[in-house]
Structure formats: C-alpha cells, structure tokens
Amino acid sequence: TLMKCTGDFLKGSYEGRNFRFGIREFGMGAVSNAVSLHKTGLVPYCATFTIFSDYMRNSIRLAALAQAGTIFVTTHDSIAVGEDGPTHQPIETIPSLRMIPDLTVIRPADCNETSGAYKVAVEKSKLQSMPTFLALTRQALPNLPNSSIENVEKGAYAVVECEDPELILIGTGSEVSLCVDAAKEMSGKKVRVVSMPCWELFREQPASYRDALLTKGVPKMSVEAAVTMGWGEFADAFVGINVFGASAPGGTCMEKFGFNVPNVVSCAEKCLAGSTGILSDGSQGKH
C-alpha cells in the first residue's frame, strides 16, 4: 500500500503522500477520516491486515456515520493467512462489517475484480463521500476467464453462465475460483457460478437483475471462508467456517476446514437433493 511515486509526509516536510502511523489502527482510521472530512479533494486510504480492522472498527463505523470517503484496504482476509494461526484469521470480521450501515464491503476474486473494487471505492469517496472496505487475500489467485472490472459495481454477476441452471454456486473472494473448479467436476449438471464481491452493491440493483441472476426456485449454495451469518438472504445452503482456524500453511488450512473441491461438490450435491442450511461449518478441521 506504500505509494512508491512519492515520499513520506513528515514534520516540516509536507510534500509526501505516505503517512506512517505505526501500530495505531484506530488512530490511522481516525486521521484518514479527518483528511476526507477536511474536503480538500484528497482521497485518503489506510491499510492493515483484515483482522486488525477490529482495532479501528469505531473509526470505520464513524466514517459511515459521518460520511467520510475513506478507503480501508485490508489483506490476509481468511484462514489462508496460514501459520499466524486463529488470532490472525478473521473468520467473523467481514460478515460483522457488512452490518454497518452505509459501509460498502468488497471482497474481490482476482486482479480484475480488485481493479473494479478500487474504481468503486474512489468513486464512492469522490462522488458520494462514503467509505469503502476492501478485503484482499494473502495468497495469489488465478485470474478468472470471465471476471470483470465493470461488473464489480453490480455487486454480483455470473462468471460461469448457463441457461436454465439446476444449481447456483455463490462465492466471494478466493472461494470464487473454488466454486468454478467445483462446477467443472459436476459433469452433467447445469451449474451457474456467481461471484458476489459486494452485498451492498448487489442490493442496489434492480429487482429484475437480482432475480435473473439468482433465479427463484433454483437451489443456491454460498461458499465463503467466513462465518455463515447473513447468507440466508441470498442462498439456501451454506459452506463456511463457524469455528476458529488453526496454525498451518494456508493451503492446508483451506483443505482441512472444507474449502476444497471434493467437499464443495459433496455439499452441492446435497443442496441439489434438497438440503438447506449449513452444510459445512469447518468443524471437520478441528479433528
């Protein structure tokens, strides 16, 4: 998040655009809000790990309340953080931030969606003076063939499309590519895969778009490496993690807690057969 094209903002030397806060998440968020509310036209952003956004939660909440156009950039957004363990694995952070009114929370699936997320965030800041929270991964992710910069502003869109789907898989962030891989394994089944980087933006879309994408009467299953709270608004069945994580390499954590193709396919087949609710909650990773 360091801007290499400029230096540091220092006492007696105000030319730089980088401000080094140290380990002061709340202060960092508060100062960033002040920069926005000063109405100089500057777009402030601050950055930390997703889990540490809890330390500046009141700053984030006040940004939404006071209409500050701050962009909160966070990384290491799931159990894929790995060896740092459950203290640094934000299983409940993103769902809890979605509860804050007037805060736009975006969890992009790849480079294209990340570009789209920044576009939305800057427009929210400059045109509406409203805050945006970006949740990015630690691990590298594949660029999805049908991902889109432009479609991020819709909140959700199909990355794998088919007519008259039998099942709709809904993913966010790193789990979108997992949904794509799972759909490929479900031979003979018509599966639509939806990337939903932002709940708030999706809610703003016309009902005709929302109903066409998440077709009524078609079983829908969400896949997100976070607690399953809230997903009942969009899906019938859920794959998530409702337990604390563990210290292990990121890939091992994802595998053990159920974020792998065989488990997603198994849960998808149960969803197709009529099962609803939490189909995988990560508890298998504790054994």
Which among 152, 97, 157, 143 is positioned nearest to 121, based on CA atoms? 152
Please say if 25 is a catalytic residue. yes
Position 10 scores a pLDDT of 78
- pLDDT tens digits along 161-195: 999 999 999 999 999 999 999 999 998 899 999 99
- pLDDT tens digits along 76-131: 999 999 888 999 999 999 999 999 999 999 999 999 999 999 999 999 999 999 99
Position 287 scores a pLDDT of 63
- pLDDT average, residue stretch 142-168: 96
C-alpha distances out from residue 57 to 38, 51, 84, 99, Å:
21, 10, 21, 12
The H or E element that residue 269 is part of is helix 261-272
The H or E element that residue 279 is part of is strand 277-280
Contact 8, 33 (CB under 8 A): no
Which amino acid type is present at position 90?
P
Please, what are the domains in the chain?
Answer: 25-135 (3.40.50.970), 150-286 (3.40.50.920)
Q: What is the CA radius of gyration of the chain?
A: 19
Beta-ladder partners of 48? 74
15, 25, 175, 200: the catalytic one is 25
- pLDDT tens digits along 44-68: 999 999 999 999 999 999 999 999 9
Phi, psi of 170 (to 5 degrees): -115, 120
